[in-house]
Amino acid sequence: MQRLNHCNVRVINKTGDKMALTGLEIFKLLPNTNCKECGFATCLAFAMRVAAKKINAEVCPYLSEEAKEKLSDSAVQPIKLIEIKSGDKSVKVGEELVMFRHEKKFFRQTLFSICIDDSKDEKEITEKLENIKKVNFNRAGEILKFDLIAVKDKSGDKQKFCRTVHLVKNIIDFPLILISETPEIVEAGLNEIPGDKPLIYAANTKNWEEMTKLAKRYNTSLVVTAENGLKDLSELSGKIKNKGLENIVLNPKSSNSAEILADYTLIRRCALEKNYRNLGFPTLLYLGDEDSFINSVIGICKYASIIIFEDLKEWEYLSLLTLRQNIFSDPQKPLQVNWGIYKVGEPDDKSPFFVTTNFSLTYFIVSTEIEGSGFSGHLLLTDSEGLSVLTAWAAGKFSGKTVGQFVKESGIEKCISHRNIIIPGYVAAISGELEDCLPDWKVYVGPQEASDISSFLNEVWLKENKI
Ligand code: SF4
């Protein structure tokens, strides 16, 4: 099998790569008058932002025509944005800018798609789709679920494929991927969902011309695949681009974990670091049953924009959705929920009143522990900009004074008849200042660990409040 290696990258550069310009190269194309009309103090500062693809070069009104032409390549996103639509629901992949999350952030998370095989009977398909619909849960303030359904032509029967597309569409309103190597069958599927913009899988070295025409006619995106490594894949995507189709997703057909890691990393590197246009597209990883869990972990961590699973067990999708959430959260922005009072269970005016920060994970853990304790409660989350309790305290965002102010503004006094507040055990030090701010209140220092909330409520709260 012929695979692309680093030597091939250099070959590609000689044969058509358009290199991204550096900040200094862009600076040389600017007038260097430092007039500030672009909003930056100097032309150099502006050039650096253009090089980082944070601003379009044409914001500078004094660019010569020659400079505009040279800069146009720098302004193009290195990885094309692709949208897949069903009615008013749409998902997007692409437009990534970095190799590593800590450099800025990953913009679009890996989309998960489950495959529906048209050779199965209606009952089996319906059951599978109903189970997919049930995967919908809140973790740290974010809904985790699948994103796409892939309908696969396994039967080779156009009627069956159309019936399956129709059935899927009636049961679940997810954007679709239509899988068939036969353009005629794909077209029949497209006609079942007029107005939608599914993703077509896949153009290969044999059918690419017909598939390209189809994708252009129906204004959809097309997966491009090649059996013999990245060189063939990049050549085929180049041919399709030359026919005028830019909505491309790449599927390198890597055959094992090591190849997945190498191929998807190399595609991202070629797109971002070499600005190599033929590989400047989102990627798709189509997993069979074998090693699908470990390969999907690699795909999520290393640059698969879409993963198609044949099937997933509950423990697998729970782990993978959680992994995906962790990889694709913005490292510069802590996960947070809105500040305010949250009801846990069915609290009444005598229920305990807790306060903590609005870091999503803190909210998730504390509310789960209150719920598990058998008590209902009122939980006030203060606006600590998504910081955890100790970090917020150290940053002065969870002091007695600030907590007291949030208590006053929260309206909790209308919800409870007592004046008892439970603070996290790690910030016992704020209790004095909080009592000064809330003179009518009794401050309880709760447990340090959320897992001890149940014993705290049973041993301290219940005894003192005699509910
Ligand atoms: Fe330089 Fe153009 Fe910005 Fe003026 S507007 S400072 S010339 S980059």
Query: Could you give the CA distance from residue 357 to residue 73 in angstroms, rounded to a whole number?
Result: 45
Distance 106 CA to ligand 1 centre (A): 30
pTM: 0.75
Atom of ligand 1 nearest to the CA of 62: 2
**What is the radius of gyration, based on Cα positions, of the chain?**
28
Distance 51 CA to ligand 1 centre (A): 15
- Name the residue of 26, 34, 44, 68 to mutate for ligand 1: max ligand atoms within 8 A of Cβ: 34
Distance 58 CA to ligand 1 centre (A): 10
Distance 20 CA to ligand 1 centre (A): 20
Question: Using CA positions, which residue lies closest to atom 8 of ligand 1?
Answer: 43
pLDDT in tens, the chain (467 residues): 344 443 333 333 333 344 567 888 889 999 999 999 999 999 999 998 888 767 878 889 999 888 887 777 656 678 999 999 999 899 999 999 899 988 888 999 999 999 999 999 999 999 999 999 999 988 877 899 999 999 999 999 999 999 999 999 999 999 999 999 999 999 999 999 999 999 999 999 999 999 999 999 999 999 999 988 999 999 999 999 999 999 999 999 998 999 999 999 999 999 998 889 999 999 999 998 778 899 999 999 999 999 999 999 999 999 999 999 999 988 877 788 899 999 999 999 999 999 999 998 899 899 999 999 999 999 999 999 999 999 999 999 999 999 999 999 999 999 999 999 999 999 999 999 999 999 999 999 999 999 999 999 999 998 888 65
Helices 314-328, 292-301: axis angle to 10 degrees equals 10
Query: Could you give the CA distance from residue 201 to residue 243 in angstroms, rounded to a whole number?
Result: 18
Longest CA–CA span in the chain (Å) reads: 81
Quick count: other Cβ atoms within 10 Å of Cβ 346? 7
pLDDT of residue 16: 37
pLDDT of residue 336: 86
Helices 122-134, 158-171: axis angle to 10 degrees equals 30
- Name the residue of 24, 27, 32, 33 to mutate for ligand 1: max ligand atoms within 8 A of Cβ: 33
pLDDT of residue 331: 84
Residues 6+ apart with CB under 8 A from 249: 82, 93, 199, 221, 222, 223, 224, 281, 282, 283, 284, 305, 306
Helix (H, G, I), strand (E, B) or coil at 227: coil
User: Which residues' Cβ are closer than 6 Å to ligand 1?
Assistant: 30-31, 33-38, 40, 43, 46, 60, 62
- Name the residue of 26, 55, 62, 68 to mutate for ligand 1: max ligand atoms within 8 A of Cβ: 62
Atom of ligand 1 nearest to the CA of 37: 5
Q: DSSP letter at 80?
A: -
One-letter amino acid at 245 equals L
Question: Measuring CA to CA, which residue among 179, 231, 246, 247 is closest to residue 207?
Answer: 179
The pairing of beta strand 148-152 with beta strand 420-423: unpaired
Distance 46 CA to ligand 1 centre (A): 7
Helix residue spans in 15-90 (DSSP H): 23-29, 43-51, 65-75
Question: Using CA positions, which residue lies closest to atom 3 of ligand 1?
Answer: 38
Helix (H, G, I), strand (E, B) or coil at 270: helix
